[in-house]
């Protein structure tokens, strides 16, 4: 390993001047290094004078730089200033990164991006509270890539030693983050690897050992597999991102995540970004353990449930539920539908009944092999299948434009899941419809749901045509 890898995060950080108006301010890192604002000389993180090769004799590999489109400049992507909004041009991002942003058509920052990026680009730790679909993924990816471009590591590196790590709770979410990362990093030459369970371990290992990977996006379980077999080392991670921390807590991943965090440099020697849709006391406690004087950004949605979704609640008996769903799916307005149920066994039985009824349906749940889940989601995106039957765990990673309807076959036991479910429709400026079935076994969940939404839901009987 080359001696004393230059790192922009020094071992000792100084306190910053004072709080910003829109966020809870925290001390900055000594040796701020980004182009978004004036910076002093970069510090150096202390590393061993020399490191022996890892167990197994991993080879050193030089970076192969891709064509970064150096002839392109931000002037080629004209975005007029707009009062009260922040352009990506205003953040001083590297041209290679701006080129990818331009290709994606991103012009103005979302509220969380405008609030958090000026701080994370300066190296601050951050805790962000935001619902899905608010642009937080782009916020942390832009932070990661701009940092790497501003602070390249010269010479050769060991394979299997990423500079940044993103942990997310579900396979679908990991794949979505990685896909977004590939788009943003298109002209940077930076390499992204995805580690998820249910897929070929050897294929993922080959990716790590034949390419100098800069960013790893992973689920906790598969990441620990790679660490346990000494195929991946996290002691050179400069930026750590924990996405959907509340969901990881709910799914019981926190003991695994704690092991992963302990394998990275100490919090004073890395930048940590934590995102969560809710700030429970448990999440607050974890953020205090894992972050160093973070700034805190809370973005409250204009409304808990998006106004682009027409929400309906049908009062049905347990016996009527499937009949109403079957008739609904055969209506002309239902062109692309996601049906949510609470448990795997319910999803499995419902999928089987729909298939026997001649409905082109796919299934997404934790017990389905990842290769099949990936294939099913792609078929749904392409319109080869009309209906997806999913659990909440799988549903968190579904980002498909053009979903006409979301059906809650069961009311979710956690009201937050309702918001995530109906957020699968009414995306990208389109409108959508959410239909929830309330029966004698789950109607008692409605008051908590309405309390979260801050409004009452109109409950009606389904139209006669759906009861035939």
> Per residue in 299-354, pLDDT tens?
865 545 556 788 999 999 999 999 999 999 999 889 999 999 998 899 999 999 99
CB 157 within 8 A of CB 209: no
* pLDDT: which is higher, 15 or 328: 328
CATH architecture for residues 309-466: 3-Layer(aba) Sandwich (3.40)
CATH architecture for residues 60-298: 3-Layer(aba) Sandwich (3.40)
- Helix, strand, coil percentages in the chain from 3-state DSSP, rounded to 5: 35, 15, 50
Q: Residue 49 in 3-state DSSP?
A: coil
Interval 213-239 mean pLDDT: 96
Helix/strand/coil (H, E, C) string of 39-102? CCCCCCCCCCCCCCCCCCCCCEECCCCCCCCCCCCHHHCCCCCCCCCCEHHHHCCCHHHHHHHH
For the cut 50, the answer to whether the pLDDT of residue 37 exceeds it is no
Paired residues of 128 in beta bridges: 275, 297
pLDDT number for residue 429: 56
Interval 429-440 mean pLDDT: 86
Helix/strand/coil (H, E, C) string of 331-395? CCCCCCEEEECCCHHHHHHHHHHHHHCCCCEEEECCCCCHHHHHHHHHHHHHCCCCEEEECHHHH
Q: Which of 176, 195, 174 is nearest to 400 (CA)?
A: 176
Percent of the chain with pLDDT over 90: 54
Interval 4-9 mean pLDDT: 39
Domain definitions of the chain by residue range: 60-298, 309-466
* Range of weakest confidence among 10-24, 92-106, 172-186, 279-293: 10-24
For the cut 60, the answer to whether the pLDDT of residue 41 exceeds it is no
Q: Residue 415 in 3-state DSSP?
A: helix
- Confidence band (pLDDT; 50, 70, 90) for 22? very low
Interval 134-161 mean pLDDT: 93
* pLDDT: which is higher, 455 or 132: 455
For the cut 80, the answer to whether the pLDDT of residue 39 exceeds it is no
The DSSP secondary-structure symbol of 14 reads P
Exposed, middle or buried, 442 (CB in 10 Å: 0-12/13-18/19+)?
middle
CB 325 within 8 A of CB 339: yes
CA 436 to chain centre: 26
Close Cβ partners of 263 (under 8 Å, ≥ 6 residues apart): 227, 233, 234, 235
For the cut 60, the answer to whether the pLDDT of residue 296 exceeds it is yes
* pLDDT: which is higher, 163 or 72: 163
For the cut 50, the answer to whether the pLDDT of residue 12 exceeds it is no
Percent of the chain with pLDDT over 70: 80
* Range of weakest confidence among 78-92, 164-178, 206-220, 391-405: 391-405
CA 461 to chain centre: 37
Give the helix/strand (H/E) hosting 377: helix 370-382
Tokens of 352: 């089987």
* Mean of pLDDT over the chain: 82
- Confidence band (pLDDT; 50, 70, 90) for 430? low
User: Where would I find the H helices in 390-441?
Assistant: 392-395, 415-422
- Round to whole Å and give the CA distance between 302 and 95: 33
- Round to whole Å and give the CA distance between 30 and 21: 22
For the cut 90, the answer to whether the pLDDT of residue 139 exceeds it is yes
Interval 81-110 mean pLDDT: 94
């Amino acid at each position: 390993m080359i001696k004393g890898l230059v790192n922009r995060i020094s071992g000792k950080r100084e306190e910053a001047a004072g709080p910003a108006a829109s966020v809870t301010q925290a001390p900055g890192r000594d040796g701020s290094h980004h182009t978004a604002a004036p910076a002093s000389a970069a510090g150096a993180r202390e590393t061993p004078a020399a490191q022996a090769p890892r167990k197994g004799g991993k080879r050193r590999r030089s970076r192969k730089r891709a064509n970064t489109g150096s002839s392109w400049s931000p002037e080629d992507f004209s975005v007029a200033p707009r009062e009260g909004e922040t352009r990506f041009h205003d953040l001083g991002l590297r041209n290679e990164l701006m080129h990818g942003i331009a290709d994606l058509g991103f012009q103005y920052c979302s509220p969380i991006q405008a609030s958090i990026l000026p701080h994370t680009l300066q190296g601050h730790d951050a805790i962000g509270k935001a619902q899905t679909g608010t642009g937080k993924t782009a916020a942390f990816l832009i932070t990661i890539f701009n940092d790497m471009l501003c602070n390249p590591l010269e010479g050769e590196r060991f394979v299997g030693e990423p500079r940044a790590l993103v942990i997310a709770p579900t396979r679908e979410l990991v794949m979505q983050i990685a896909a977004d990362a590939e788009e943003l990093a298109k002209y940077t030459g930076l390499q992204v690897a995805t580690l998820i369970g249910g897929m070929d371990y050897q294929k993922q290992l080959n990716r790590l050992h034949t390419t100098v990977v800069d960013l790893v996006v992973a689920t906790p379980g598969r990441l620990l597999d790679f660490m346990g077999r000494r195929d991946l080392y996290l002691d050179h991670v400069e930026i750590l991102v924990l996405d959907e921390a509340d969901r990881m807590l709910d799914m019981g991943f926190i003991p695994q995540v704690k092991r992963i965090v302990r394998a990275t440099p100490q919090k004073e020697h890395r930048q940590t970004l934590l995102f969560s849709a809710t700030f429970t006391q448990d999440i607050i406690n974890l953020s205090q353990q894992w972050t160093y004087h973070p700034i805190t950004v809370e973005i409250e949605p204009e409304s808990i449930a998006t106004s682009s979704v027409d929400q309906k609640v049908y009062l049905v008996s347990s016996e009527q539920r499937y009949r109403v769903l079957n008739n609904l799916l055969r209506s002309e307005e239902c062109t692309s539908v996601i049906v949510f149920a609470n448990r795997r066994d319910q999803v499995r039985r419902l999928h089987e009944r729909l298939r026997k009824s001649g409905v082109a349906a796919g299934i997404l749940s934790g017990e389905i092999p990842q290769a099949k889940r990936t294939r099913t989601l792609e078929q749904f995106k392409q319109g080869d299948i009309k209906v997806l039957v999913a659990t909440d765990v799988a549903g968190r990673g579904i980002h498909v434009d053009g979903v006409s309807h979301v059906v809650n076959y069961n009311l979710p036991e956690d009201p937050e899941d309702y918001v995530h479910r109906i957020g699968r429709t009414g995306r990208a400026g389109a409108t959508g419809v959410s239909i929830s079935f309330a029966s004698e076994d789950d109607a008692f969940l409605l008051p908590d749901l309405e309390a979260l939404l801050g409004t009452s839901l109109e409950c009606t009987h389904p139209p006669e045509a759906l009861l035939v």
